[in-house]
């Protein structure tokens, strides 16, 4: 160890005489959307509140720095006090929209879902007039060629993420147009996806959500211990295509929601697990909720 310490000092001294490598300080809206959603999922599942706090902070930064009147910027440059970059791409609106919905699921705060709805509306500017899918840029954006891409690359494709966003908005009580938008994107690339499913995993995941989402509704005071216990049970159970809603009562749900009209059991925080048009019996104990979720996950 003493020898290593001397070696580190010598290396550090030599390094100070060299030019420092350039640093990429660009902040990307779509990459932040991916990280925000991942931090909420992982922080909730593994009981890491610092990760959840980091997700909230990152979301606030994008909204306050990279979002003006609902129009996102693709990049924010951090050098010299910061400067906005070019207009947002399809992936920026889709990823940040999904991040906003994940925050809404976890907190129940409709300010997040409002952002998701506003950003999803912006996707009209990206719609291809002859297909049901979206181009990666608008006609006014010259940052990149305007193309239709459905396959995933280093990150999920913008179209796959947009399809997931519209599918989730549909289940959260949005207009039927959201279902049609999601289905249109999926249909546009479905033939390619069946021939090369690994390259289109994002699109197939969105299709799975649209066709068979597991909707979980918890009724109770948002800050009550028993409500949070049910919420945490859901988030600690791996559930692809999960749609989670936390409400004080089900009157806020649309009338065609399978849990509309459901009530608390014995005045306690209560969960209902719904697939299609059918819901489970009321569940008040976290251990029973785990069993129910696992059984339904195996069946679906």
Measured CA to CA in angstroms, residue 257 lies from 69, 84, 92 at distances of: 32, 41, 30
For residue 67, pLDDT over 90 is answered with: yes
Give residue 144's pLDDT.
72
Q: Check: CB of residue 55 under 8 Å from CB of residue 41.
A: no
Contact partners, residue 296, CB within 8 Å, separation at least 6? 214, 273, 275, 280
Rounded CA separation 119/287 (Å)? 37
Give residue 222's pLDDT.
86
Cβ count within 10 A of residue 282? 16
Comparing CA positions, the residue from 179, 289, 276, 273 lying closest to residue 230 is 289
The pTM of this model reads 0.89
Mean pLDDT over each residue of the chain, to the nearest integer:
92
Measured CA to CA in angstroms, residue 196 lies from 129, 135, 149, 186, 202 at distances of: 26, 21, 14, 14, 12
Rounded CA separation 78/231 (Å)? 37
Give residue 90's pLDDT.
95
For residue 132, pLDDT over 90 is answered with: no
Cβ count within 10 A of residue 169? 23
Measured CA to CA in angstroms, residue 248 lies from 122, 221, 252, 298 at distances of: 31, 6, 9, 29
Give residue 153's pLDDT.
93
Specify the residue for token string 């809603």.
245
Comparing CA positions, the residue from 217, 55, 91 lying closest to residue 163 is 91
Tokens representing residue 107 in the block: 């907190």
Contact partners, residue 34, CB within 8 Å, separation at least 6? 95, 99, 155, 156
142 pLDDT band, cuts 50/70/90, is: low
Give residue 245's pLDDT.
92
For residue 139, pLDDT over 80 is answered with: no
Give residue 183's pLDDT.
96
Give residue 143's pLDDT.
67
For residue 130, pLDDT over 80 is answered with: yes
Contact partners, residue 137, CB within 8 Å, separation at least 6? 89, 90, 126, 143, 144, 145, 146
Residues in the chain: 300
Mean pLDDT value across residues 67-96 = 89
Rounded CA separation 232/216 (Å)? 12
175 pLDDT band, cuts 50/70/90, is: confident
Cβ count within 10 A of residue 264? 15
String of b and e for 70-108 (b: at least 16 CB within 10 Å)?
Answer: eebbbbbeeeeeeeebebbbbbbbbbbbbbbbbbbbbbb
Mean pLDDT value across residues 80-103 = 92
Rounded CA separation 273/290 (Å)? 11
What share of the chain in percent tops pLDDT 70?
97
Give pLDDT tens digits for 209-267.
999 899 999 999 988 999 999 999 999 988 888 999 999 888 888 888 899 999 999 99
């Amino acid at each position: 160890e003493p020898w290593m310490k001397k070696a580190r000092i010598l290396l550090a001294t030599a390094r100070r005489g060299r030019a420092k490598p350039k640093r990429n300080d660009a902040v990307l809206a779509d990459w932040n959307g991916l990280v925000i959603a991942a931090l909420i999922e992982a922080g909730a599942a593994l009981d890491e509140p610092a990760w959840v706090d980091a997700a909230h902070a990152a979301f606030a930064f994008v909204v306050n720095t990279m979002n003006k009147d609902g129009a996102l910027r693709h990049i924010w440059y951090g050098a010299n006090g910061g400067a906005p970059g070019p207009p947002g791409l399809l992936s920026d609106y889709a990823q940040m929209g999904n991040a906003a919905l994940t925050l809404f699921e976890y907190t129940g705060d409709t300010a997040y879902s409002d952002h998701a709805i506003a950003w999803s509306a912006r996707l009209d500017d990206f719609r291809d007039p002859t297909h049901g899918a979206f181009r990666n840029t608008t006609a006014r954006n010259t940052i990149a060629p305007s193309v239709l891409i459905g396959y995933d690359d280093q990150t999920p494709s913008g179209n796959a993420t947009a399809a997931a966003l519209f599918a989730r908005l549909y289940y959260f009580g949005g207009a039927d147009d959201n279902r049609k938008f999601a289905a249109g994107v999926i249909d546009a690339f479905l033939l390619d996806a069946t021939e090369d499913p690994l390259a289109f995993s994002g699109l197939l995941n969105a299709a799975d959500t649209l066709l068979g989402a597991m909707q979980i509704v918890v009724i109770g005071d948002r800050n009550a211990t028993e409500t949070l216990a049910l919420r945490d049970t859901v988030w600690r159970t791996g559930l692809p295509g999960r749609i989670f809603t936390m409400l004080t009562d089900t009157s806020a749900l649309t009338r065609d929601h399978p849990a509309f009209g459901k009530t608390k059991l014995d005045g306690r925080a209560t969960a209902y697990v719904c697939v299609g048009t059918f819901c489970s019996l009321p569940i008040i104990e976290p251990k029973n909720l785990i069993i129910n979720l696992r059984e339904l996950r195996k069946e679906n």
